[in-house]
């Protein structure tokens, strides 16, 4: 049996050491809380911002007209559908993060003394995204957390949360720092769940390459699944979100590119025609349908054409690739003798990743489960990239620090049934003499999601219902057949089970939304119901059963 270590105690356990997690840790520690960050990788290079960011949405008084006008621009662009209460708090507090990050060593003014706004903006509209150099942001945030006395447990993969009398009291994790895994227990007065996006639920454009994805491939929605299991409300799983970018070398950072979306003949296919040389094409943010239509009507493929950029613009763009953390694209192009000055790069839409779908929070980053908080990309009713993670992370840390003042003692979980069950299940995976590999489970989930909850073909009750049934059957089979050889494989296996659980929540939510909206297209409900414009699909687990409901958040 896998060894279970004695529980560690802390006021606040932060699950995930990405941008939101480290910002929450700093905020809580500054208020006197004893904080542990549990991170499955290493906080210096983990999460969605592991290698950098070059756009930071923020409202700066004097530069922008008002908070209301700023929120309007975000809603018109790439941050549609956010809870306005959370969006307002984000906007009001975003500039304080900019000033603090500068103090901590992150370059928020890489072009001189002035703040520069660029990208992700409708033509002729006020700019919302500050241009930064975030290539070392995670190292700077880690250093700040350590200066505040935060304990960081790297190579620790939290797998489940434990609740008692309706509130969260602890968590189960596996120590993956050595080949032989051990179980780590945390007894905490509060948990901040910040595990980022959900990757690998749908196949990548190159299905054999599981980690060729636009977001952090190690972010597999564990926090969402763990929160759901203890009763936290989830939201917007019915709404797919798909990224676009270079066709087969999958990367995010579309707003860093400066060029025009064109057909093979160099003719503009975007919604605003061909932008002026040196300007960005907003098509990549708000009109992804261009890439799908070009495939369906035979006019594709669609290319990103940077060949008309002036020399200084081209140099600027390439330097920003390093700030954004996508410089591997430049390395690959150099190896293959591709030159952006001469060659267009084919672009396309990727299959969905789980972002803007997840835990429902309020303006204090509270979930529906007392003591449990969430922030950043894990949230389902708010999204604004790295800046959204930074602001909501700070708010979650502040809110949790207030909550723990009312919690007098820790709850003993050493012999909890959840712990014994985890030990039994994890040990069975490690002790099995023969069986299937975790990759087989991951691919099986992806195949089901592609075929029964696609964005490329319409959804229907029969397809979605079959998908639910197949995932539930797959879960039963996998529990009996998967084999792990070491702690790394155990971690990947548990990720695959979380991916399966996410897929099931997507299918159940899509079944319940009996209309077509956005990328959620139902052949049996082809119209959009205007009465639901202000409502969101929620899903919650109560007494072992799943309940969906349309709610006004």
Give yes or no: residues 429 and 345 share one domain: no
Asked, for residue 362, whether it belongs to a domain, the answer is no
CATH code at position 527: 1.20.58.100
Helix (H), strand (E) counts: the chain? 14, 17
- Residues 133 and 110: beta-carbon distance below 8 Å: yes
From 349, 369, 399, give the residue that closes a domain: 349
Asked, for residue 152, whether it belongs to a domain, the answer is no
Asked, for residue 159, whether it belongs to a domain, the answer is no
State how far the Cα of 356 lies from the Cα of 351, in Å rounded to an integer.
15
State how far the Cα of 481 lies from the Cα of 445, in Å rounded to an integer.
15
Q: Determine the pLDDT at residue 10.
A: 99
In the chain, the number of structural domains is 3
Asked, for residue 61, whether it belongs to a domain, the answer is yes
- Residues 398 and 28: beta-carbon distance below 8 Å: yes
List of residues 6+ apart from 334 with CB closer than 8 A:
none
Give yes or no: residues 323 and 425 share one domain: no
From 133, 164, 190, give the residue that closes a domain: 133
State how far the Cα of 394 lies from the Cα of 33, in Å rounded to an integer.
14
Q: Determine the pLDDT at residue 119.
A: 87
List of residues 6+ apart from 209 with CB closer than 8 A:
none
Domain span at residue 430 reads: 417-535
Comparing CA positions, the residue from 372, 397, 425 lying closest to residue 93 is: 397
Residue whose token pair is 């500039």: 95
Give yes or no: residues 345 and 422 share one domain: no
Strand order across the 234-235 sheet: 358-359, 234-235, 536-542, 545-551
Q: What is the DSSP string of 268-287?
A: B-STT-SPPTT---THHHH-
Q: What is the DSSP string of 489-521?
A: HHHHHHHHHHHHHHHHHHHHHHHH--S-BTTB-
Paired strand residues for 234: 359, 539
In the three-class reduction of DSSP (H, G, I as helix; E, B as strand; rest coil), residue 329 is classed as helix
Q: Determine the pLDDT at residue 122.
A: 81
Give yes or no: residues 326 and 435 share one domain: no
Q: Determine the pLDDT at residue 539.
A: 99
- Residues 142 and 209: beta-carbon distance below 8 Å: no
- Residues 439 and 203: beta-carbon distance below 8 Å: no
SS3 sequence of 213-227: CCCCCCCECHHHHHH
Asked, for residue 381, whether it belongs to a domain, the answer is no
Pairing of β 536-542 and β 545-551: antiparallel
State how far the Cα of 112 lies from the Cα of 109, in Å rounded to an integer.
6
Which pTM was predicted? 0.97
Mean pLDDT of each 10-residue bin along the chain, 553 residues long: 98 99 99 99 96 95 93 83 92 98 98 93 88 97 99 99 98 98 99 97 92 94 98 96 92 93 90 78 83 84 94 96 96 97 94 92 98 98 94 99 98 98 99 97 98 94 99 99 98 99 98 96 97 96 97 89
Q: Determine the pLDDT at residue 121.
A: 83
State how far the Cα of 88 lies from the Cα of 62, in Å rounded to an integer.
17
Q: Determine the pLDDT at residue 420.
A: 98
Give yes or no: residues 450 and 341 share one domain: no
């Amino acid at each position: 049996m896998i060894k279970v270590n004695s529980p560690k105690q802390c006021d606040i356990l932060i699950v995930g050491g990405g941008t939101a997690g480290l910002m929450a840790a700093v905020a809580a520690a500054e208020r006197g809380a004893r904080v542990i960050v549990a991170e499955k990788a290493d906080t210096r290079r983990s999460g969605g911002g592991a290698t950098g960011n070059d756009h930071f949405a923020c409202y700066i008084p004097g530069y922008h007209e008002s908070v209301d006008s700023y929120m309007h621009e975000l809603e018109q662009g790439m941050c549609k559908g956010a809870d306005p209460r959370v969006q307002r708090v984000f906007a009001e507090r975003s500039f304080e993060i900019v000033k603090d990050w500068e103090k901590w060593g992150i370059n928020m003014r890489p072009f001189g003394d002035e703040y520069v706004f660029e990208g992700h903006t409708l033509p002729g509209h006020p700019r919302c995204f500050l241009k930064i150099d975030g290539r070392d942001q995670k190292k700077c945030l880690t250093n700040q957390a350590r200066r505040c006395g935060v304990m960081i447990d790297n190579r620790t993969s939290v797998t489940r949360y434990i609740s008692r009398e309706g509130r969260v009291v602890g968590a189960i994790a596996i120590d993956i720092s050595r080949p032989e895994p051990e179980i780590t227990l945390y007894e905490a007065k509060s948990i901040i769940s910040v595990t980022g996006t959900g990757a690998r639920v749908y196949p990548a454009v190159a299905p054999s390459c599981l980690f060729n994805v636009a977001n952090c491939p190690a972010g597999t929605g564990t926090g969402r699944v763990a929160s759901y299991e203890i009763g936290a409300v989830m939201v917007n799983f019915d709404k797919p979100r798909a990224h676009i970018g270079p066709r087969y070398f999958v990367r995010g950072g579309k707003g860093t590119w400066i060029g025009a979306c064109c057909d093979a003949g160099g003719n503009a296919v975007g919604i605003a025609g061909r932008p002026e040389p040196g300007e960005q094409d907003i098509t990549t943010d708000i009109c992804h349908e261009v890439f799908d239509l070009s495939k369906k009507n035979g006019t594709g493929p669609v290319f990103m054409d940077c060949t008309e950029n002036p020399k200084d613009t081209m140099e600027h763009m390439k330097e920003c690739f390093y700030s954004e953390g996508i410089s591997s694209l430049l390395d690959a192009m150099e190896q293959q003798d591709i030159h952006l000055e001469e060659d267009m790069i084919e672009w396309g839409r990727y299959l969905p990743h789980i972002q803007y779908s997840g835990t429902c929070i309020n303006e204090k980053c509270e979930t529906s489960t007392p003591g449990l908080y969430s922030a950043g990309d894990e949230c389902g009713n708010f999204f604004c990239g790295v800046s959204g993670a930074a602001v909501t992370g700070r708010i979650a840390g502040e809110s949790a620090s207030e909550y723990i003042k009312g919690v007098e003692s820790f709850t003993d979980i050493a012999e909890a049934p959840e712990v014994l069950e985890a030990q039994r299940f994890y040990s069975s995976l490690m002790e099995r003499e023969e069986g299937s590999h975790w990759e087989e489970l991951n691919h099986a989930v992806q195949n089901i999601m592609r075929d029964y909850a696609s964005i490329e073909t319409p959804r229907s009750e029969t397809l979605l219902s079959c998908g639910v049934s197949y995932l539930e059957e797959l879960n039963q089979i996998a529990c009996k057949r998967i084999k792990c050889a070491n702690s790394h494989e155990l971690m990947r296996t548990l990720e695959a089970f979380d991916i399966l659980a996410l897929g099931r929540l997507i299918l159940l939510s899509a079944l319940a939304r009996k209309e077509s909206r956005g990328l959620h297209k139902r052949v049996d409900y082809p119209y959009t119901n205007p009465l639901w414009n202000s409502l969101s699909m929620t899903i919650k687990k109560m007494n072992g059963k799943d309940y969906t409901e349309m709610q006004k958040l």
